[in-house]
Amino acid sequence: MIVMKFGGAALGTPEAVARASDIISTRLERKPVIVLSAMAKTTRSILSCAREFAAGRRKQGQKHIEPIRTFHYDMADALLSGQREAAVRKGIDTIFEQMNTSLEAFFALHDLSARSADSVLCFGELLSTLIIEQYLQHQGISSRLFDSRSIIVTDSSYTRARPLMKETAERIRRHILPAVNDGDVPVFQGFIGATPDGVYTTLGFEGSDYTAAIAGGALHAECIEIWKNVPGIMTADPNVVKNAYTVPALSFDQASELTFFGAKVLHPSTMRPARENGIHMAIYNTMDPQGPHTVLLPGQEDIGDYASITSMTDIAMLRLNVKEASDAYRISAGLEMHGMVVYITEIIHETFQAFVSDDEAASLCMQEEEYCENARWKQGLALVTVVGAGPHWNESAVYSQVCRCLANETVPVYSAVMKQCSCTVCVDAENAEKSVRALHASMLSPVP
């Protein structure tokens, strides 16, 4: 058995859906379980719509709704016909009726809480699975549609819910396994779930990868395949480094570092269920199914010397004096409580230093804390991370090479932190892309 997840960008046109169906048909002997994202940028469009209604701008919100509805009508028209198309169009109408009810409530209350947002963010995946599952049947694939809100059980951390793994695994096995054993191809939504009380939740953007990994772990799948419109994980962002190329294999540690420090290929939590269950993952390109791709291998931590370079901007640096280590732990907890993502912390000569997500509102709240009266903030920064491992990975040598390379480019480095398989430096945001290009040229040879 395998789990196959298809991302929204890989489902944005009728031709893309047809490609996905063709790919699924080549793997029927391996008993695929299908997890789907919303099509194209539907979820973000729904969120924009909800914000307009909550702000009291009903007309502007309705202008967002119609393109979403028309897009899904057009997809159904292009992919289906006859009674099957009519049934799907009726289903689309039902989903939009439910969405309109929620939107009118936002308008009346002039409020959009995280819980309210999750009540409508689920509709993108419901629309895509409704259409695509019927298209699979139209193509002769015996498929069966399931609702993830009855399968993925989460806590109530709305918009970034955490799955309750035991309950979720039990439901996956109870609902999905019988369909597989009957020879059907189960299809269900990524990204969405519900609390034990049935309140709708979402796992955070790009959460469909996480859903697929959870399903793979619960089903003890042979492999979890992530299908996107990019050729796996690359040595750098190809929009920044023109000669970037696909990394053929990574360990889970390396992939985790890349996603944590800015690579957008996988949801940050995706690797955990696969790692815990010893399942390998593969990231494929729907545009070139037989072409370059990346395999993530459990239990191997020494793949390659240098694997990839990534960066993230919108970083702020906090510095303040501390008397003991417990102060640093208290400050870190405070940062996270105020909604900041803490990427790196260090203590240098009784000075606590943290690199965090640059959230202006959160930083203003944080500065109200008593222990931050003398805090020094620096904004407009970026973190650039070199990820690697292998028998030749030597922390001091890597540190020296990174710093020497950036010094040659006259890029000031505010901090450098070494870990088992990564080296992260903090630079000015305006130097982020320059740093990535220089490090890639210095440390990653061109593809053979």
For the stretch 47-91, pLDDT in tens is: 999 999 999 999 999 988 999 999 999 999 999 999 999 999 999
What does the radius of gyration of the chain's CA atoms come to, in whole angstroms?
Answer: 23
Work out the number of other CB atoms within 10 angstroms of the CB of residue 393: 17
CA dihedral 81, 83, 87, 90 (to 10 degrees): 80
What percentage of the chain reaches a pLDDT higher than 70?
93
Whether the per-residue pLDDT at 378 is higher than 80: the answer is yes
Q: How far is CA 339 from CA 201, 277, 333, 361, 367, in A?
A: 19, 31, 10, 9, 13
pLDDT band at 338 (very low <50, low <70, confident <90, very high): confident
3-state secondary structure of 353: strand
Least confident of 58-67, 284-293, 349-358: 349-358
The candidate with the shortest Cα–Cα distance to 211, out of 194, 189, 238, is 189
Where b means 16+ CB within 10 Å and e means fewer, 278-301 reads ebbbbbbbbeeeeeebbbbbbeee
Neighbours of 230 (CB within 10 A): 20
Cα 337 from chain centre: 22
Token digits of residue 221:
């799948």
With a cut of 90, say whether residue 393 has pLDDT above it: no
Q: Residue 11: pLDDT band by 50, 70, 90 thresholds?
A: very high
Helical (H) or strand (E) element with 435: helix 432-443
Is 190 in contact with 145 (CB distance < 8 Å)? no
Cα–Cα dist 60/47, whole Å: 13
pLDDT at 365: 59
pLDDT band at 190 (very low <50, low <70, confident <90, very high): very high
- Sheet with strand 280-285: strands edge to edge: 143-145, 185-189, 32-36, 2-6, 223-228, 280-285, 294-297, 249-251
Query: What pLDDT, on a 0 to 100 scale, did the predictor assign at position 408?
Result: 96
Tens digits of residue pLDDT in 170-180: 999 999 999 99
Per-residue model confidence (pLDDT) at position 102 = 96
Asked whether residue 362 carries a pLDDT value surpassing 60, the answer given is: no
- Give the pLDDT band of residue 97 (cuts 50, 70, 90): very high
At 299 the pLDDT is 67
Please state the rounded mean pLDDT for residues 359-386: 74
- DSSP letter assigned to residue 234: B
Output phi, psi for 38, to 5 deg. -65, 155
Percent of the chain topping pLDDT 90: 69
**256 pLDDT exceeds 90?**
no
* The pLDDT value given to residue 425: 96
More confident residue, 27 or 266: 27
355 DSSP assignment = E
> 248 is written with which tokens?
């053929």
pLDDT band per the 50, 70, 90 thresholds, residue 391: low
Q: What's the length of the chain?
A: 448
Q: What confidence tier does 397 reach under pLDDT thresholds 50, 70, 90?
A: confident
Query: Around 406, how many Cα atoms within 13 Å sit in the side-chain half-sphere?
Result: 26
Average pLDDT over residues 392-399: 82
Q: Which two tokens stand for residue 180?
A: 């597989």
At 331 the pLDDT is 79
Supply the pLDDT for residue 300. Answer: 58
Which residue ranges form the domains of the chain, and what is each CATH number? 2-229 (3.40.1160.10), 306-443 (3.30.2130.10)
C-alpha distances in Å from residue 299, one per residue of 64, 218, 251, 254: 47, 19, 7, 12
pLDDT of residue 22: 98
Q: Residue 366: which pLDDT band, with cuts at 50, 70 and 90? A: low
Output the pLDDT for position 318: 86
Contact 11, 162 (CB under 8 A): no
Residue 361 predicted with pLDDT over 60: no
Measure the CA–CA gap between 180 and 174, rounded to whole angstroms. Answer: 11
Is the pLDDT confidence value at 140 over 90?
A: yes
Provide the pLDDT for residue 103.
97
SS (H, E, C) 241-288: CCCCCECCEEEHHHHHHHHHCCCCCCCCCCHHHHHHCCCEEEEEECCC
Q: Of the given ranges (119-128, 156-165, 249-258, 370-379), which has the lowest mean pLDDT?
A: 370-379
Confidence of residue 42 (pLDDT cuts 50, 70, 90): very high
Residues with Cβ within 8 Å of residue 314, at least 6 apart in sequence: 357, 358, 429
Strand (E) or helix (H) holding 354: strand 351-357
Which DSSP string do the residues of 362-422 spell out, in sequence order?
HHHHHTTSGGGTT-EEEEEEEEEEEEE-STT--HHHHHHHHHHHHHHTT---SEEEE-SSE
User: What is the spatial distance between Cα 237 and Cα 242, in angstroms, rounded to a whole number?
Assistant: 8
133-147, 176-190, 253-267: segment of lowest average pLDDT: 253-267
pLDDT per position as a tens digit, 207-255: 999 999 999 999 999 999 999 999 999 999 999 999 999 999 988 888 8
The reported pLDDT for the residue numbered 26 is 97
Q: What is the DSSP string of 141-161?
A: --EEE--GGGT-BB-S-TTSP
Average pLDDT value for residue range 194-212: 93
The pLDDT confidence band at residue 358, using thresholds 50, 70 and 90, is: confident
